[in-house]
Amino acid sequence: MNLKCAIVDDEPLALNLLESYATKTPFLELVGKYSSAVQAMNDLPDKQVDLLLLDIQMPELNGLEFSKMVNPHTRIVFTTAFDQYAIDGYKVNALDYLLKPISHVDFLQAANKAVQWFELMQQPKEEIESIFVKSDYKLVQVELKNILYIEGLKDYIKIYEENIPKPILSLMSMKAMEELLPSSRFMRVHRSFIVQKDKIRIIDRGRIVFGKNHIPISDSYKQIFQNFLDKRS
């Protein structure tokens, strides 16, 4: 898979370094480089950019502000010398975060994550066997077959897996997670819970039981859940 990429950085040395990395990467096509977010904002809408390498600390319009204006199709990798910005990067759904000075190896790892993301998105949902979620500044691969249920907590979700006592905590919305999961295998039963259908073993007084945890079924999802039960009864 080939990806179209662009670079935004107000430091000439950093801009040139990232350009050299991009041009040496066979699966990347560099379609633009910009010394400011304002300059990129005027030019990028006319281009289909898959991967954007974006500096955070820039005058006029910083990278975090600009990232919220970028086409949702575009995956963002933040580049910065200030690691305190890391969590802010994930709040705008960045794919990765690179700390300057950026090595060629780190660049390639981020570029490969972008390829994996787009390859995953091209697969029909029913064929997806695993997904990548961001947790503790890393991308973690989660096998769908191992998921019991997902719990939503404001800006975060918890992914509970079979035989693993500690859930995976990820900064993403329930809506985003629901869009990733195949509906043939997963269903929403509450605004705060998504369950894997084939993992349901016990239903007790209108609640799904996973070990010591009881998952409520809200009124707005009761009919959908009942339809599911009727098909399997």
pLDDT of residue 84: 61
Q: In order along the chain (233 residues), what is the average pLDDT of each group of 10 residues?
A: 95 96 97 94 90 92 88 89 63 80 94 88 78 79 95 90 92 84 93 96 94 94 92 84
Cite the beta strand spans of the chain per DSSP E: 3-8, 28-34, 51-55, 75-80, 96-99, 130-135, 138-143, 147-153, 156-161, 168-170, 186-190, 193-196, 202-204, 207-210, 213-216
Alpha-carbon span 224 to 183, nearest angstrom: 12
pLDDT of residue 137: 67
Alpha-carbon span 142 to 72, nearest angstrom: 23
Q: Are 108 and 5 in contact (CB under 8 A)?
A: no
pLDDT of residue 123: 73
pLDDT of residue 200: 95
Alpha-carbon span 57 to 9, nearest angstrom: 9
Residue that the structure tokens 């570029």 belong to: 111
pLDDT of residue 226: 93
C-beta neighbour count of 49 within 10 angstroms: 22
pLDDT of residue 128: 82
Handedness of CA 112, 117, 122, 126 (dihedral sign): positive
Alpha-carbon span 151 to 214, nearest angstrom: 12
Q: Is 144 helix (H, G, I), strand (E, B) or coil?
A: helix
